A = this chain, B = another copy of it.
Amino acid sequence: MKYSPLFWPIQLKGSTIYILDETLLPDKIKYIKVKDYRQAARAIKEMKTRAVGQVILVFYIFLLVIRQNKGRKNLSSLLKKVANTINASRPTLPFKVITDMVLGWDKAQLPVEKCILGFLEKLKNFRIQQAKEASKLLKNKDVVLTHCNISGLMPLIAEFCLKKNKKISFYVTETRPYLQGARLTSWELNRAGFEVTIITDNMVAQVMHEGKIDRVIVGADNLAQSGDIANKIGTYQIAILARHFKIPFYVICPPKSSAASGKDIKIEIRPEKELLKFGGKSIAPKGVKGYYPAFDVTPKRLITKHIHLETKR
């Protein structure tokens, strides 16, 4: 199995974290070196990494801090400080689930470093199983529409299909304003040898109407206890459209967060300038406002199937 660079976009070597700068893809494959937890939190805020990259990064930040402070007396209070910094970086992401987990290990006086490494190993295996699980839902010649980027899982799904002699292809929304679909998903699918066609975010109904789409598969940044999910802005309307056109809508899920339902997930509002500019150039006249909710919530009733992280093998 070959993995996309996006499948595990963060590396930790000694006490340096290497973050794949996803803002530069597909033009450049460049890793940002980080030696400090505040720098790392800033990389999250600036969306240098996203999705599973953020999850891995949060764990690596704790490993970094632990390695840099071996033998320090008040390490626990430092870890709490680190947790607070991370939790405050982006509101929609359930970082607290992760930071609470780490603080919990520390409180229980478990070997935190070992616990983190063990957890990440399990995460990696679970994600591979999720891709396998998703591949079982697909038939030969299926065309899958996806939105944004699910960190290397799409090419993996396609590879699992290929092993069973099922050839699938993809449509991907460009995913404005950050263009994860055009820049990341199309890139990782194309380099893995799979057919992929980009559409703009306003073409979804038309391609569904034309019968071009057999299934929708998206990821999720937050899975509430109720089964509602938060994912990249635009996911909600694709779910409504999929229901309208009777197309199955699958979600590859993270572990459940503490949110009881979608209503309890806070939606991050990002600066309007990120939406009113493209490639440094303004696309709108001065004085015009922009509104940029970075996520939306898709209610459980619109989801055909959740592919959970704790997939049975």
Contacts and interface: CB of A to CB of B under 8 A. Distances in A.
Interface of A: 26, 147, 171, 173-177, 179, 182-183, 186-187, 190-191, 195-207, 209-210, 233-234, 236-237, 240-241, 244, 267, 275-276, 278-279, 281, 283-285, 287-293, 296
* Nearest 3 pairs of A and B residues by beta carbon: A202-B234, A205-B237, A201-B202
- Give the interface centre of A26, A195, A275, A284 by most chain B CB atoms within 10 Å: A284
A290 B201 contact: no
A171 to B, nearest CB: 8
B296 A209 contact: yes
Contacts of A177: 200
A284 B186 contact: yes
Contact of A203 (B190, B285, B291): B291
A156 to B, nearest CB: 19
B278 A237 contact: no
A244 B234 contact: no
A202 B278 contact: no
| Copies per complex of this chain | 2
Contacts of A200: 176-177, 201, 233-234, 275, 292
A279 B276 contact: no
Nearest to A202: B234
A278 B278 contact: yes
B284 A182 contact: yes
A73 B107 CA distance: 98
A291 B234 CA distance: 19
A209 B233 CA distance: 12
Given A202-B176, A291-B203, A26 B190 contact: no
A283 B279 contact: yes
- Give the interface centre of A198, A199, A205, A288 by most chain B CB atoms within 10 Å: A288
Given A174-B176, A176-B174, A296-B209, A198 B288 contact: yes
B283 A182 contact: yes
Nearest to A187: B285
